[in-house]
Structure 1
Amino acid sequence: MCSVPAEFGQYLAVCLVYSGDVVQKEVISAVSHVKELGLASFVDWSPGFKIGINHKVPIFHPDLEINGSELSLGSVANSTAAGRYWSDINHRYDLMFDKAAFLHWFFIEGMEEQDFHQARETTAAIENEYLELKTSTPKM
């Protein structure tokens, strides 16, 4: 998982999971407010927010500062901004691979150079998918 600033892209999907004594009407109102203010930009084909409500009071680890809260909200999102993340990963991978940094440890464990080339092709394909999503609206 990674953290990517949302303002650099459009959301592909967002899942919000509320826990605690939450009223569905208030949740829908809050999500509508976010949409009205344009705080979340979605690609054209995305249906928007997927919402889940669990009416059980959340349980937190006793050492956490937020312990005792009777409400919680968790969010998982996918955004075109994640393309920046993959681009950065690929760039750093290329720098290290060109220097053969740490490769010997993997070779000792039985990996071969071809395994690294295949992995790099896979991450390049993921990066390209995000780039395509950012530059054009996919056809459904």
Structure 2
Amino acid sequence: MIAIIVLFILSALLMYIWNQKRPNNFPPGPPPLPIIGNIHQMPRGHFWIGVNKWSEDYGPIIGLSVLNFFIVVITGVDNVVAALRKDEFQARPDNVVTREKMFGKLLGIFFSSGEQWSSSRKFIVKQMGAFGK
């Protein structure tokens, strides 16, 4: 009986460790804790100051884990512009929380993909150009 319980606990632990592994080619970032990831390290108040410190330590592209979601933070104007322009960067994660907040659709430049992303980007670039004049 004890052997079965130990085997169950070990298999649950191995499954947990396997699910916590960072994806291949994931950018460097602060080391996460099990389950909560980096949520305890998230800067409070002035978020950009904490992200700026991370960018000094880990580079302009930072990988974080928050409650089993993997997040990539991009710093620097040139890097953000490149990420918003290239088609390789337009895919966004599809999750229940995002869809719930967006009334069942992935809207806006940061949440949409494909044609919706392209049209949102064109609209924002046009409006930002008009705003700067």
**TM category, shorter:** under 0.3
State the TM-score, normalizing by the size of structure 1.
0.22
Larger helix fraction of residues: 2
Larger strand fraction of residues: 1
Q: Choose 1 or 2 for highest CA Rg.
A: 1
Q: Which has the higher contact order (CA 8 A, sep 6+)?
A: 1
State the TM-score, normalizing by the size of structure 2.
0.22
